[in-house]
A and B are shown apart, each in its own frame.
Chain A
């Protein structure tokens, strides 16, 4: 019997390629057909962004990168088109650019309850599709409450920053791996896959891991 293949994924809530890559990875895992266990890890693309950033993503990128507004708009339109191709309706007109550290704390809180994947998906949807704010504690508590969590417990966890150390540990581990961009997939603790690869690429790596395990399993019989 094949063992479960562990996949550790570094990702940020406001990373457009992370949500697209999530869908592509999920499609790749389905193509592969074996058992896969996913764990998400925190990565902060822009830790110096204020929670209450008042501008739009277009203004943000234009200011930070010195790019003309028209060029940024075109870029986001293209990303929106690529997202659409994997079934995601990005709505950049309503995205709230913010600091994502507390949303990562919420993902770790959910992980402590055994519900990390659900929260990760919900926060990506909140940011890119629903136009919800993922930087403020009350907004994050509302999202958690919608998923059935106890509001007081979530509020306490986020206000006390109980899970901040876990977020920082993930970021530190990414540095140790030499991860510079996200999404980044560590498959079986051995293979590194960077970016929103096509589904077949993920399926191929998973199949490779499985094939490498098979001789050992036969020898054990």
Chain B
């Protein structure tokens, strides 16, 4: 465990990186970003081409 996580002290603020639209669950709802669906469609199309 990272030191800040062990000590029980307030962790340092995080630098948020990556795609802010990435799929996640909040509460009991798990949204599906549209670009995520498009990526699956694209992957399926790629497979068809192979």
Partner of B23 from the list A12, A195, A201, A208 (CB cut-off 8 Å) is A195
Asked whether A39 and B32 contact (CB < 8 A) given A190-B12, A195-B19, the answer is no
Tell me whether A205 and B25 are in contact (CB under 8 A): no
Asked whether A195 and B24 contact (CB < 8 A) given A15-B30, A61-B29, the answer is yes
Tell me whether A189 and B15 are in contact (CB under 8 A): no
Q: Any chain A CB within 8 A of the CB of B40? A: yes
Could you tell me the dominant secondary structure of chain A's interface residues? Answer: mixed
Q: Any chain B CB within 8 A of the CB of A176? A: yes
What 1/0 flags go to B10-44 for Cβ under 8 Å of A? Answer: 11101111111111111111101000110110010
User: Which residues of chain A have C-beta atoms less than 8 A from B29's C-beta?
Assistant: 61, 64-65
Q: How far is the CA of A192 from the CA of B18 in the complex (A)?
A: 8
User: Which residues of chain B have C-beta atoms less than 8 A from A192's C-beta?
Assistant: 14-17
Give the interface segment out of A75-83, A118-126, A149-157.
A75-83
Q: Any chain A CB within 8 A of the CB of B50? A: no
Tell me whether B30 and A195 are in contact (CB under 8 A): no
Interface size, B (range): 20 to 34
Given contacts A61-B29, A85-B43, A190-B14, 20 further A-B contacts (CB under 8 A): A6-B1, A17-B30, A45-B25, A45-B27, A45-B28, A61-B28, A78-B37, A79-B32, A82-B32, A176-B11, A182-B25, A189-B4, A192-B14, A195-B22, A196-B22, A196-B24, A196-B36, A197-B18, A202-B18, A205-B18
Closest 3 CB pairs of A and B: A195-B22, A192-B14, A189-B2
A-B contact pairs, 19 of them (CB 8 A): A6-B1, A17-B23, A45-B27, A45-B28, A60-B28, A79-B32, A82-B37, A178-B14, A182-B24, A191-B14, A191-B15, A192-B15, A192-B17, A193-B17, A193-B18, A197-B19, A201-B22, A205-B17, A205-B18
Interface residues of A (CB under 8 A from B): 6, 8, 12, 15-18, 20-21, 39, 45-46, 49, 60-61, 64-65, 75, 78-79, 81-82, 85, 173, 176-178, 180-184, 186, 188-198, 201-202, 205, 208
